[in-house]
A = this chain, B = another copy of it.
Amino acid sequence: MTKGRLEAFSDGVIAILITIMVLELKVPHGAAWADLRPLLPLFLTYALSFVFIGIYWNNHHHMLQATERINGKILWANHHLLFWLSLVPFGTWWMGENHLAPVPTALYGAVLLAAAIAYTILLRAIIAHQGPGSALAKAVGSDRKGKLSALLYVAAIPLAFVATWLSAAIYVLVALIWLVPDQRIESRLQ
């Protein structure tokens, strides 16, 4: 089974997810700068989620670049990842419209954590299918970035009930960690 359509379908779903988030930026009734101010928290959350979905797309791209063949297990692991990513718009809207209230901020972290776990499951499914000496396994190595991100999400969820700005800062930190392009796979592939 070739990976072409898996990539195309994932591209489609991720493109839609990253785009429909903007639909909740409802056009204000007034036409003054002040009318945009209530949209600011949602706009910032939107920008953050745009980066997160961009990160997932980049990593998905890198991962499948190092993948030749897929199987049924990989298809479902991919659907599972897309399912959690499909909840990112909801998490974004709820957190953004409630100005970082504790529960929505914790839920946002939980959705990101679930997506991170789903990504790891997909990665493991591909490595298992490639067999021993997998090129992807070598490229990923100990997956320190992935583990660190998951740990940070686990910390951010309860912290939302202590100080939501701390959770938000952690989400921004995770995004920054990944914005540095993943040299590992890239360098191994060359």
A58 interface residue, CB < 8 Å from B?
yes
Known: A75-B58, A75-B181, A83-B47. A103 touches B11 (CB 8 A): no
| Contact status B27-A94, CB under 8 Å | yes
Contacts of A20 in B (CB 8 A): 16, 19-20, 23
A144 interface residue, CB < 8 Å from B?
no
Contacts of A107 in B (CB 8 A): 36
Known: A11-B12, A33-B103. A27 touches B72 (CB 8 A): no
Contacts of A6 in B (CB 8 A): 61
| Contact status A58-B31, CB under 8 Å | no
Q: How far is the CB of A101 from chain B (nearest CB, A)?
A: 4
Interface CB pairs A-B, < 8 A, 27:
A1-B61, A5-B64, A8-B8, A9-B15, A9-B57, A11-B12, A12-B14, A15-B16, A19-B20, A25-B90, A27-B93, A27-B94, A31-B94, A31-B98, A31-B104, A33-B103, A36-B107, A50-B86, A51-B79, A54-B76, A57-B79, A58-B72, A72-B181, A72-B186, A73-B181, A75-B181, A76-B179
Bound state CA distance, A36 and B106, in angstroms? 13
Q: How far is the CB of A143 from chain B (nearest CB, A)?
A: 17
Interface 0/1 of A38-65, CB less than 8 Å to B: 0000000001001100100110010011
| Contact status A28-B61, CB under 8 Å | no
Contacts of A14 in B (CB 8 A): 9, 12
Known: A27-B24, A181-B73. A15 touches B18 (CB 8 A): no
